[in-house]
């Protein structure tokens, strides 16, 4: 991880950076979260209308500022028909203000990975408040309790859910983050398996203590190195590794994909057959919406929470668990997980056992390399 | 069954006559600006062969006419877009992701109304029938003659699109209506884009198909006309006039189908070496493997059923670097017969190397006698390396597979390639595309979400729908074979939701009623 440079208090995000963010968020999506393309189209429209989004350092939040945490929840397939709409995201945030009688200083994303990496910008553009350069995962995860704020034991409620037909729902109180996941998932399914949500509001203090910092900047940086490498006809995968201190796990061709749904999640595995220096080996990737474990010739070589990213070998773009297919030539890389996810408490929420694998987490990276604060 | 296959490419119009499974005769003629003249020329040349006279059961044409219209922004008409699904997806209206020049050309007016469905089949909102009627009157008053209707989740339940069409036709009886569910899968924006492109091509399709009919009739042929689709199957000409986007077919699709037919191989890699590029694809069960992702047509994102092809700049007209022997990617293209050394030109091309190496006998061999053995070897090695690397990129399984080499530049393929069990060349291989058109089959496809069914039952349900669709499109039910089945459970959706895509294809049923050619 390169050294953190302290960003100025507020700066405008450029249209070019949003294009880069969409690419970088898809890489950090670790296979899940859906493609950011539709969110990107929203942002292009908002910028064409003259709206602008300011990026704010989490360190510049006052302790008693309120920060909205947004996400589009539901099935990626439904997101392909009921398209992301910045006004819905904004409405979920307004509901929180009405219920709690607060004004938000800024907005942030629950997860930088996938389509939700752009959702916070969409809300910010509508509401005219800044986006905090932070999220609660530093990647993407499938469930509500798999966040840094849940690991921190912060209050899980209330959560608002909005459907543009005028259906507004609030999960007022739950005893745990897991209950928040169960209750909000049920509502989301009734809304048509998609909902614009605003999670429990966070104070500036909580974001400073428990947010994963500078992940928006990281996604933009990743997008830029991919764009630049493609412009120069250089290897975009190598460019990501160099920029983010990642490790290449495997290069090859997808030869098998098995998918099944259990408990409402997309689970399964993809098998990559080695090419070049990996010829003769096979890498199996197990997923629950996101890539969770990578097994080389039967032995686990990388697990959550380290980021396992499957990238198109040619373009460097992310490959999703729903779209991975036979014959794709892919490069599988690992990026260091945010430090908070690798603590004992963090591993309870997002380690291999949280996904049902009887494995210990052994990071591929030195502790100092953890992403974010 | 005697059929004529015609492939109208950018450079050549090829025609073949097949009888049953045998190629009787094949010809190549230059493509003309008006397309029709080239077809007439090719048919006249074909009919000179005595064995080709007599009754013909069908004429099948493959053309790049419609895709070229989109790419070149020519012959497109104004379209009205009706989107059903408000208040969802409101932020991203029809045309929102089109290149602006094309959007300006095609966008007549956009109407966004309540309607559509949820993923589980429940209505999302009741259809705004009054709104549809108002839109219809406005479309009529503006003189727009083609409309595209798209509704949220219409691949699961098309009733909303159909209802809106009926209201439109009450108000504007002569209007051309395209429904998105006829053209696409899940993915509203891409499906709607397909419908909009299709609507923009309706007039061109009508005039092109009637020109094709006239060329055939003027050639003295009385047979029904079919057009090949993107996936190497055919549709009846009158259907093709309704769905021109389904005929975006590249010649490469027909080449691959033709290669499969001529070689008898159903599972193989294919390389079609033309003048400028080589297209590499994979045959599965005798059909090109499809690209499983977004395909951009003229800058518009779609999910068309296009073959998964890799095009590389290696062809018979490719420039050769005299120092290194590196071939391509620049090419002399259709100027080969003026610019190549063997034709008295000054540009060293892959064709010159082939002549010097004794692989090919065209032009004047004396003009390439001075080429060094080292250069010839280096160039052929470069061609071999390019093909080897790129065939490997397109292979989807380890192990050796046969490679079919077709097209006018197939001489560039070596006798051996690592990863390929054999290199297969076939007679009439230079007209494989027209052969592919002549032997094209009729297909039917399903792509929808099934719930509360076992995996086997869902797949069977999907196949049944696909078979019925194939028969409705003119296939002979008894000859139907499954081409492709793909299932995908859907994250978060309850009831063991499974998205199943199935495709079947079979021979053309003997027509009871003659297509009025």
Q: Could you tell me the two tokens for A95?
A: 């509901």
Surface of B (395-424) touching A: CB under 8 A: 395-398
The pLDDT tens digits of the residues spanning B299-337 come to 898 877 778 888 788 888 899 999 999 998 888 877 788
- B515 band by pLDDT with thresholds 50, 70 and 90: very low
Of A9 and B370, the one with more pLDDT: B370
Can you give the pTM of this predicted structure?
Answer: 0.84
- Angle among Cα B58, B61, B66 to the nearest 5 degrees reads 145
Nearest chain B residue to A325 by CA: give it: B292
Of B120, B124, B496, the CB nearest to A261: B496
Average pLDDT over residues B458-485: 88
Surface of B (37-76) touching A: CB under 8 A: none
Of A80, A84, A264, the CB nearest to B492: A264
Give how far A61 is from chain B: nearest CA, Å.
Answer: 31
C-alpha distances out from residue A271 to A186, A250, A290, B90, B94, Å: 33, 11, 15, 39, 38
Decide if B186 touches A, using CB distance below 8 A: yes
What H or E segment, with its residue span, contains residue B410?
A: none
Whole-number Å distance between alpha carbons of A287 and A290:
5
Contact B321, B341 (CB under 8 A): no
Give how far B69 is from chain A: nearest CA, Å.
Answer: 26
Whole-number Å distance between alpha carbons of A87 and B459:
39
Decide if B187 touches A, using CB distance below 8 A: yes
Residue B43 has pLDDT above 90, yes or no: yes
Give how far A328 is from chain B: nearest CA, Å.
Answer: 8
What residues of A are in contact with residue B97 (Cβ under 8 Å)?
41
β pairing state of B146-151 and B176-179: parallel
Among residues A199, A134, A119, which one has the least CA distance to residue A338?
A134
Of B420 and A289, the one with more pLDDT: B420
The pLDDT tens digits of the residues spanning B134-161 come to 999 999 999 999 999 999 998 878 899 9
Surface of A (84-113) touching B: CB under 8 A: 84-87
Whole-number Å distance between alpha carbons of A147 and A139:
10
What residues of B are in contact with residue A289 (Cβ under 8 Å)?
491
Whole-number Å distance between alpha carbons of A219 and A224:
9
Whole-number Å distance between alpha carbons of B191 and B181:
7
B23: CB partners within 8 A, 6+ apart:
B16, B17, B262, B427, B428, B435
Name the 3-class secondary structure at A47: helix
Whole-number Å distance between alpha carbons of B512 and A232:
60
Whole-number Å distance between alpha carbons of B4 and B16:
6
A96: CB partners within 8 A, 6+ apart:
A68, A102, A104, A158, A160, A198, A201
Of A76, A83, A185, the CB nearest to B188: A83
Least confident window among A212-221, B336-345, B397-406: B397-406
Long-range CB pairs of B96-99, under 8 A, 24+ apart, other chains included: B96/A41, B96/A45, B96/B189, B97/A41, B97/B189, B97/B193, B97/B300, B97/B301, B98/B193, B98/B299, B98/B300, B99/B298, B99/B299, B99/B300
Whole-number Å distance between alpha carbons of B286 and A38:
36
Task: Test B396 with A82 for CB contact under 8 angstroms.
Answer: no
Beta bridge partners, A261, equal: A266
Least confident window among A322-331, B117-126, B345-354: A322-331
φ/ψ of residue A345, rounded to 5: -65, -40
Among residues B311, B282, B302, which one has the least CA distance to residue B484?
B282
Give counts: helices (H), strands (E), chain A.
11, 17
Among residues B479, B428, B486, B424, which one has the least CA distance to residue B455?
B486
Per-residue pLDDT, B499? 77
Per-residue pLDDT, B187? 86
Nearest chain B residue to A330 by CA: give it: B393
Other C-beta atoms lying within 10 Å of the C-beta of residue B469: 18
Name the 3-class secondary structure at B134: helix
β pairing state of A194-203 and A66-74: antiparallel
Of A371 and B511, the one with more pLDDT: B511
Per-residue pLDDT, B363? 92
* Strand ranges in chain A using DSSP code E only, listed in sequence order: 10-12, 54-56, 66-74, 106-109, 131-132, 134-135, 159-163, 167-171, 194-203, 212-213, 247-262, 265-274, 282-288, 290-296, 299-303, 307-312, 329-335
Per-residue pLDDT, B489? 63
Per-residue pLDDT, B513? 39
What is the average pLDDT value for chain B, to the nearest integer? 88
Contact A146, A178 (CB under 8 A): no
Q: What is the CA radius of gyration of chain A?
A: 19
Per-residue pLDDT, A371? 47
Decide if A245 touches B, using CB distance below 8 A: no
Among residues A160, A120, A140, which one has the least CA distance to residue A34?
A140
What residues of B are in contact with residue A165 (Cβ under 8 Å)?
87-88, 124-125
The pLDDT tens digits of the residues spanning A280-297 come to 999 999 998 899 999 999
- B356 band by pLDDT with thresholds 50, 70 and 90: very high
How many beta-carbon contacts under 8 Å exist across A and B?
Answer: 125
Task: Test A323 with B189 for CB contact under 8 angstroms.
Answer: no
Of B88, B120, B489, the CB nearest to A164: B88
Whole-number Å distance between alpha carbons of B193 and B296:
10
Average pLDDT over residues B490-497: 62
Whole-number Å distance between alpha carbons of A277 and A275:
6
Of A315 and B223, the one with more pLDDT: B223
What residues of B are in contact with residue A260 (Cβ under 8 Å)?
489
The pLDDT tens digits of the residues spanning B275-287 come to 778 889 999 888 8
Output DSSP code: residue B159: H
Q: Which of A75, A77, A263, A265 to mutate to test the interface with B (most CBs of B within 10 A)?
A: A77
C-alpha distances out from residue B181 to B188, B228, B285, B301, B304, Å: 10, 20, 27, 16, 12
Of B186, B494, B496, the CB nearest to A81: B186
Which residue is listed with tokens 């036979």?
A: A326
Task: Test A84 with B91 for CB contact under 8 angstroms.
Answer: yes
Kindly tell me the sign of the dihedral angle through the C-alpha atoms of B200, B202, B207, B213. Answer: positive
- B204 band by pLDDT with thresholds 50, 70 and 90: very high
Least confident window among B216-220, B318-322, B391-395, B456-460: B391-395
Output DSSP code: residue B123: B
B262: CB partners within 8 A, 6+ apart:
B23, B406, B426, B427, B428, B429, B432, B435
Whole-number Å distance between alpha carbons of B203 and B422:
46
Among residues B248, B235, B226, B244, which one has the least CA distance to residue B472?
B235
Per-residue pLDDT, A322? 73
Per-residue pLDDT, A372? 44
Per-residue pLDDT, A298? 95
Q: How many CA atoms lie within 13 A of A10 on its CB side?
A: 9
What residues of B are in contact with residue A185 (Cβ under 8 Å)?
492
Per-residue pLDDT, A370? 47
What residues of A are in contact with residue B116 (Cβ under 8 Å)?
81
What residues of B are in contact with residue A192 (Cβ under 8 Å)?
118-120, 122, 124
* Strand ranges in B401-480 using DSSP code E only, listed in sequence order: 401-406, 420-424, 442-450
Other C-beta atoms lying within 10 Å of the C-beta of residue A340: 27
φ/ψ of residue A271, rounded to 5: -110, 130
Of A38, A84, A192, the CB nearest to B119: A192
Please list the rounded mean pLDDT of every run of 10 residues in chain A (373 residues): 54 97 97 90 96 97 97 83 95 98 98 95 97 97 95 98 97 97 92 93 98 98 95 89 96 79 68 89 93 96 97 88 77 96 97 95 76 43
Task: Test A80 with B289 for CB contact under 8 angstroms.
Answer: no
Contact B494, B439 (CB under 8 A): no
Cis peptide before A158 (omega within 30 of 0): yes
Of A76, A82, A325, the CB nearest to B88: A82
The packing angle between helices A15-28 and A116-127, to 10°, is 150
Of B362 and A369, the one with more pLDDT: B362
Per-residue pLDDT, A355? 94
- B516 band by pLDDT with thresholds 50, 70 and 90: very low
Average pLDDT over residues B354-380: 94
Give how far B191 is from chain A: nearest CA, Å.
Answer: 10
What residues of B are in contact with residue A42 (Cβ under 8 Å)?
91-92
């Amino acid at each position: 991880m390169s050294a953190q440079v302290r960003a100025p208090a507020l700066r405008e995000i450029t249209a070019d950076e949003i294009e880069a963010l969409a690419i970088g968020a898809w890489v950090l999506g670790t296979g899940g979260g859906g493609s950011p393309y539709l969110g990107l189209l929203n942002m292009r429209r908002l910028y064409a209308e003259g709206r602008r989004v300011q990026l704010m350092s989490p360190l510049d939040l006052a302790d008693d500022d309120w920060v909205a945490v947004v996400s589009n929840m539901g099935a990626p397939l439904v997101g392909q028909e009921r398209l992301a709409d910045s006004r819905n995201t904004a409405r979920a945030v307004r509901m929180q203000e009405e219920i709690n009688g607060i004004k938000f200083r800024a907005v942030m994303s629950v997860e930088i990975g996938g389509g939700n990496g752009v959702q916070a910008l969409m809300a910010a553009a509508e509401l005219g408040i800044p986006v905090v350069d932070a999220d609660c995962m530093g990647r993407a995860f499938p469930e509500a309790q798999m966040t840094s704020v849940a690991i921190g034991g912060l209050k899980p409620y209330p959560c608002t859910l909005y459907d543009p037909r005028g259906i507004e729902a609030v999960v007022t109180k739950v005893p745990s983050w897991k209950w928040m996941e169960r209750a909000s998932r049920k509502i989301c399914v009734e809304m048509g398996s998609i909902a614009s949500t605003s999670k429990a509001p966070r104070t500036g203090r909580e974001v400073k203590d428990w947010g994963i910092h500078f992940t928006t900047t990281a996604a933009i940086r990743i997008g830029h190195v991919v764009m630049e490498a493609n412009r120069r006809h250089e290897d975009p995968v190598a460019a990501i590794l160099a920029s983010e201190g990642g490790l290449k796990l495997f290069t090859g061709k997808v030869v098998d994909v098995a998918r099944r749904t259990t408990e409402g999640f997309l689970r399964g595995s993809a098998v990559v057959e080695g090419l070049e220096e990996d010829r003769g080996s096979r890498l199996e990737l197990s997923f629950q919406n996101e890539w969770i474990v990578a097994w080389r010739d039967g032995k686990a070589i990388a697990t959550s929470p380290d980021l396992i990213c499957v990238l198109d070998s040619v373009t460097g773009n992310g490959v999703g668990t729903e779209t991975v297919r036979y014959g794709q030539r892919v490069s599988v890389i690992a990026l260091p997980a945010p430090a908070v996810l690798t603590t004992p408490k963090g591993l309870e929420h997002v380690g291999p056992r949280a996904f049902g694998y009887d494995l210990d987490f052994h990071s591929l990276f030195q502790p100092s390399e953890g992403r974010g604060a | 069954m005697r059929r004529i296959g015609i492939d109208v490419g950018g450079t050549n119009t090829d025609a073949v006559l097949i009888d049953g499974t045998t190629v009787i005769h094949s010809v190549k003629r230059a493509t003309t600006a008006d397309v029709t003249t080239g077809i007439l020329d090719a048919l006249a040349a074909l009919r000179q062969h005595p064995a080709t006279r007599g009754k013909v059961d069908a004429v099948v044409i493959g053309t790049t006419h419609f895709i070229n219209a989109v790419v070149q922004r020519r012959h497109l008409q104004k379209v009205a877009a009706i989107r059903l699904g408000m208040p969802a997806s409101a932020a991203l209206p029809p045309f929102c992701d089109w290149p602006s020049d094309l959007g300006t050309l095609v966008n007549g007016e956009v109407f966004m109304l309540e309607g559509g469905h949820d993923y589980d089949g429940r209505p999302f909102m009741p259809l705004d029938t009054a709104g549809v009627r108002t839109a219809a009157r406005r479309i009529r008053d503006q003189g727009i003659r083609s409309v595209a209707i798209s509704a949220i989740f219409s691949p699961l339940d098309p009733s909303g699109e159909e209802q809106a069409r009926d209201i439109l036709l009450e108000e504007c009886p002569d209007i051309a209506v395209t429904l998105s569910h006829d053209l696409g899968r899940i993915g509203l924006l891409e499906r709607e884009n397909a419908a909009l492109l299709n609507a923009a091509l309706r007039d061109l399709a009508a005039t092109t198909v009637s020109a094709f009919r006239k060329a055939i009739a003027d050639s003295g042929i009385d047979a029904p006309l079919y057009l090949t689709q993107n996936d190497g199957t055919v549709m009846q000409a009158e259907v093709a006039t309704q769905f021109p986007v389904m005929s975006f077919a590249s010649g490469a699709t027909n080449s691959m189908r033709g290669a499969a037919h001529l070689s008898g191989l159903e599972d193989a890699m294919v390389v079609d070496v033309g003048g400028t590029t080589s297209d590499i694809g994979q045959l599965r069960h005798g059909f090109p493997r499809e690209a499983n992702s977004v395909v951009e047509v003229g800058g518009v994102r779609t999910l068309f059923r296009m073959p998964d092809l890799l095009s590389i700049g290696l062809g018979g007209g490719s420039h050769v670097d005299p120092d290194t022997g590196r071939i391509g990617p620049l090419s002399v293209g259709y100027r080969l017969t003026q610019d190549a050394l063997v034709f008295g030109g000054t540009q060293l091309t892959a064709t010159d190397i082939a002549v010097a190496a004794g692989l090919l006998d065209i032009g004047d061999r004396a003009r390439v006698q001075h080429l060094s053995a080292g250069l010839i070897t280096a160039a052929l090695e470069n061609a071999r390396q390019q093909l080897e690397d790129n065939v490997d990129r397109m292979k989807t399984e380890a192990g050796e597979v046969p490679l079919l080499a077709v097209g006018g530049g197939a001489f560039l393929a070596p006798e051996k390639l690592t990863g390929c069990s054999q290199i297969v060349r076939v007679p009439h291989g230079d007209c494989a595309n027209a052969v592919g058109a002549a032997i094209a089959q009729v297909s039917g496809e399903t792509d929808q979400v099934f719930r509360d069914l076992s995996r086997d039952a869902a797949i069977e349900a999907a196949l049944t729908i696909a078979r019925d669709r194939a028969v409705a499109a003119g296939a002979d039910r008894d000859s139907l074979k499954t081409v492709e089945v793909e299932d995908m459970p859907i994250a978060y959706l309850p009831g063991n939701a499974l998205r199943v895509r199935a495709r079947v294809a079979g021979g053309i049923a003997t027509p009871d009623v003659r297509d009025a050619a």
